Amino acid sequence: MQTLRRLNLHPGWWLVLPFLLVVMGMFLGPILNILWLSVTLPEPGLDNYAALFESEPLRRMLWTTLRICLITTVMSVILGYSIAYAMMHASGANRNWMISLLLVTFWISVLVRTFSWLMLLGRNGPVNNALMGAGLVSEPVEFMRNELGVLIGMVHYMIPYAVLPILASMQNIDNRVIAASRNLGAGGAQTFWRIYLPLTRPGIVAGAILVFILSLGFFVTPAILGGGRVLMVAEYISVQVLITLRWGTAAMLAVLLLGGVLALMFILSRLIPLSQVFGGARR
């Protein structure tokens, strides 16, 4: 007990500590194993990492992944902010319905959503039929087997992940601040851009982080809607592991993804306190 007092730890921590060690081992063990494989297969060295500078297809695949993830993040945050703003200013009953419908989307499999878009965006699907019926196009638009179809599917799936943190940030805004801005003569647009939007910045950052990180690991949507023509890093890793058996390259890409996410979190922590982003108390 004297040791516990000296360490300033509650005795309950010693009950939790074994489980924490097990969880850490379950996470750190595979990560260290992947790191080890990336520098030992097919032979010891940094040849797998050197391929990032030597292989044009590899660089093109990484650039495609980064571009699609960035566009998905921007579009999801813009649309998610609009939806959250509408939900925030809806009446109580309508807001509850909107939140319920938003939560239902988390229960629908990404595979079901992707196949739904496959039917909607086909050459003879409802979207092309509507466009041709309205006279906007003379022939079916190729929505699939390209980046456009992948972006539509990914943005549709990611919007709820952007809405929730933004909505939570909006709910924390003190309405008296908005009222004070109006009383001081600011118009609606000026109040939004100079008061409301900056106050929701933690939610925007949190939504952007969440969407971008989840987008990096997308597999099903690019594989189906991209039709093999849009290769992203998750699908590339799957090919290296299951088909070409180049485990070293796959491990290197996995390490690269993990390092990129950690670097992004570090940079963002320098720009904005992560305690605010993830719901911590403001000081």
Fill in the amino acid letter for 118.
L
Q: What angle do CA 87, 88, 92 make, to 5 degrees?
A: 80
CB-based burial label for 155 (10 Å; 0-12, 13-18, 19+): buried
In contact, 241 and 249? CB cutoff 8 Å? no
- In whole angstroms, what is the distance from residue 269 CA to residue 47 CA? 32
CA 225 to chain centre: 18
> Mean of the pLDDT values across residues 51-74?
91
Q: Is the Cβ–Cβ distance between 199 and 177 less than 8 Å? A: yes
Answer yes or no: is pLDDT of 269 > 80.
no
The confidence score (pLDDT) of residue 5 equals 53
What's CA 198's distance to the chain center, in Å?
A: 22
Q: In whole angstroms, what is the distance from residue 120 CA to residue 115 CA?
A: 9
Neighbours of 129 (CB within 10 A): 13
> So what's the pLDDT on residue 159?
94
Give the position of tokens 């019926």.
Answer: 133
9-13, 24-28, 48-52, 96-100: which range is least confident on average?
Answer: 9-13
In this predicted structure, the answer to whether residue 277 has a pLDDT above a threshold of 70 is no
Q: If you compute the radius of gyration of the chain from its CA atoms, what whole number of angstroms results?
A: 24
User: Where does residue 216 rank: exposed (0-12), middle (13-18), buried (19+ CB within 10 A)?
Assistant: buried
Per residue in 104-134, pLDDT (tens digit) is 888 888 889 988 998 898 888 899 899 888 8
CATH of the domain spanning 59-108+143-277: 1.10.3720.10
pLDDT bucket at 30, cuts 50 / 70 / 90: confident
Higher pLDDT among residues 14 and 6, named by residue: 14
Confidence of residue 281 (pLDDT cuts 50, 70, 90): very low
* Burial degree of 222 (CB within 10 A; 0-12, 13-18, 19+): buried
Q: Are 251 and 38 in contact (CB under 8 A)?
A: yes
* Angstrom distance (rounded) from CA 243 to CA 25: 30
Contact between residue 252 and residue 35 where contact means Cβ atoms under 8 Å apart: no
Are 205 and 196 in contact by the 8 Å Cβ rule? The answer is no
In the Cβ-directed half-sphere of 41, how many Cα atoms lie within 13 Å? 16
pLDDT at 245 over 90: no
At 274 the pLDDT is 60
Average pLDDT over residues 164-192: 84
Structural tokens at position 181:
């801005």
- Under the banding of pLDDT at 50, 70 and 90, the label for residue 75 is very high
Residue 86: per-residue pLDDT: 92
Kindly report the average pLDDT of the chain as a whole number: 85
Distance from the first to the final alpha carbon of the chain: 34
φ, ψ (nearest 5 deg) of residue 42: -75, -10
Provide the residue type at 32 as one letter.
L
The model's confidence at residue 279, banded by pLDDT at 50, 70 and 90, is: low
Rounded CA-CA distance 76/86 in Å is: 15
